[in-house]
Amino acid sequence: MAVLKVIEILADSDKSWEDATKKAVAKASQSVNNIKSAFVQSQSAVVGKKGKIVSFRVNVKITFEVK
């Protein structure tokens, strides 16, 4: 029987939500082994001056196996 644990990571990117998600997984993988999945729980964007999006944000749940 496998034991799985879930952590939440908040990440942002000036490029896209996809890039923010990749950054979240990359950062988590520096200290967590056996990552099995990433679930984007929510997305948001920061709007700057002149109505332009300046940052994309994601709240990601990362699941990994505990050995």
Instruction: Give 28-53 pLDDT, tens digit per residue.
Output: 999 999 999 999 999 999 999 999 99
* Band of pLDDT at residue 20, cut at 50, 70 and 90: very high
Whole-angstrom distance, CA of residue 23 vs CA of residue 10:
10
pTM of the model: 0.89
- Where residue 62 sits, what CATH number does that domain have? 3.30.1660.10
Q: Which two tokens stand for residue 53?
A: 């999006």
Q: Does the pLDDT of residue 16 top 90, yes or no? A: yes
Q: Does the pLDDT of residue 67 top 90, yes or no? A: no
Split into its structural domains, the chain has a count of: 1
Over residues 53-62, the mean pLDDT reads 97
Domain span at residue 48 reads: 3-66
